[in-house]
Each structure stands twice: as C-alpha cells, then as structure tokens.
Amino acid sequence: MRDLQADCLLHLEADNPLMPLEMRDVHLALNGKPVLRAVDLSLEGAGCSVIMGPNGAGKSVLLKTIHGLMPVDAGQICWGGLPVAQVTRAQAMVFQTPVLLRRSAEANIAFVLKARGKSKRLAQSYLDRVGLSDMARQPARRLSGGQQQRLAIARALATDPQVLLLDEPTASLDPASVLMIEEILRDVRAQGVRIILVTHDIGQARRMADDVVFLNAGQVVEHSPANRFFQRPQNLAAQDYLDGRIIL
C-alpha cells in the first residue's frame, strides 16, 4: 500500500499550506450502519467546493470527519500532508443553527479572540466584515436568524482559518439573508480562505461552486468542475437530484 502521508506531501500548495485535502478509502459506520463507504476525495488549491446529495447521504458526517470532529473506522484523511488530527485549529466550521453565547455580539467574537491569544479589540473589525457593525452591543441571541448566522461566520473568521467548512449555513434563512451570506463567503474566498460548503440549495450551489462533490448513500459518486456538473452530471442520481426527482 502506498504511504499516504508521503503521497500528500508531493502535492503541497504554496498559497494555502493546508491544501490539498486528501481522503483515501474512508469508511465509517454509526450504530452498525455504514455511513461513509470507501470515500476517496481530493480537493485542491483555492476556491469553493460544494457538497450536495440527498437527505441522509452522509454530507454532515463527511464534513465532521474532514474537520476531525468524528474519527473514522478506516482510511486516511490528510490536510496538506498532515493527518487531520494535527490541523483542526487551522479550520473553522459553521453549522446550520449557530450556537451563540448569551452575551453581546461583540463578546461572542471577543471570546474566540481571547482563546486564540488575540486582542479583543479586533472584534469590531470582524463584525464590520459581516455587516454587523451596528449590532456590537446587542444580545447575540436576540439577533435575527440571518444576523446570528453572520455572527457565527464572523466568529469562525476570528480564528483566522485557512479552510472554512459550512454545513447548510443558510437552510432556514430568508432569501435576502441567503444572498448576504453568499456575498460574505465570496469575499472570504477572494481573500484566499478555502471554502467547503454543504448545501441543499441548487441555486446556491450554482452561484457558489467552483467544483461539486455529489454524495449518495455514503459514497462520492461524482466530483466535477461546477460548469460540467450543472450542464450534465455524469451520475444518474445526481441528474435525478438536479431534476427534482429525488425528494429531499
């Protein structure tokens, strides 16, 4: 068998030392049920990869494993040549429902800055970045859903991640909030942060994706550049999904 770590090291990328992400033959069962099955995935360079697939396909579990939040039963997950367990602090994750501290918006950011040994005075600049400048003193939990998610993104950015992982971050938001968050993510991507986004929203995937990973029943059945995927997916289940024939 090939030495995975040595193999990863051959492909190190200059602009983001965490890339590429290499998953090789990853298996994971939960409660005796296979959830990830022989997952092979390579994500290179910069940009935004979108992970799509039917409900229960394993998207959330996949994202957790590549963030090092869930150990796998077999296979390798390697970031920039290093096993995932060694690099979790270089990635940040945003979930569908943000869990915020019962404090002001600013204090939520300051908490993370302090934990990372950074000045709490930087909090305002992260709020500015997500359009929440005027909300600094508001209790975080009284913000609207869209504002809370923007705060969660600001909090993730306050850790200076090289990779930002997002699991359906706009699933329960109104259209204006969705577009605002996409604008923030485009800006984050332009600054060189690698984005990996799980979404059910096909319109969002078209607007955001540089490449699409399609997951079905725990397997990566297609990984294509976005324009090729949306013009003509190679996989039948992906075609059915885009045509609305798979009920979510």
Ligand X SMILES: Nc1ncnc2c1ncn2[C@@H]1O[C@H](COP(=O)(O)OP(=O)(O)O)[C@@H](O)[C@H]1O
Residues in touch with ligand X (CB under 6 A)? 30-31, 35, 53, 55-61
Distance CA 186, CA 129 (A): 12
Judge contact between 238 and 224, C-beta under 8 A.
no
Report which secondary-structure segment, H or E, holds 21. strand 21-30
Distance CA 143, CA 153 (A): 14
Question: Considering beta carbons, is residue 21 or 63 the nearer one to ligand X?
Answer: 63
Q: How far is the CB of 171 from ligand X (least distance, A)?
A: 11
Q: How far is the CB of 241 from ligand X (least distance, A)?
A: 12
Q: How far is the CB of 168 from Mg ion (least distance, A)?
A: 6
Question: Considering beta carbons, is residue 73 or 183 the nearer one to ligand X?
Answer: 73
Residue 58, contacted partner among ligand X, Mg ion, none, CB below 5-8 A by kind: ligand X
Residue 69, contacted partner among ligand X, Mg ion, none, CB below 5-8 A by kind: none
HEC sequence for 57-70: CCHHHHHHHHCCCC
Question: Considering beta carbons, is residue 53 or 80 the nearer one to ligand X?
Answer: 53
Residue nearest to Mg ion (CB): 60
Q: How far is the CB of 37 from ligand X (least distance, A)?
A: 11
Judge contact between 83 and 75, C-beta under 8 A.
no
What tokens appear for 62 in the block? 């996949």
**Contact residues for Mg ion (CB under 5 A)?**
59-60
Cross-strand bridge partners of residue 211: 49, 225
Judge contact between 216 and 235, C-beta under 8 A.
yes
Question: Considering beta carbons, is residue 95 or 230 the nearer one to Mg ion?
Answer: 95
Q: How far is the CB of 60 from Mg ion (least distance, A)?
A: 3
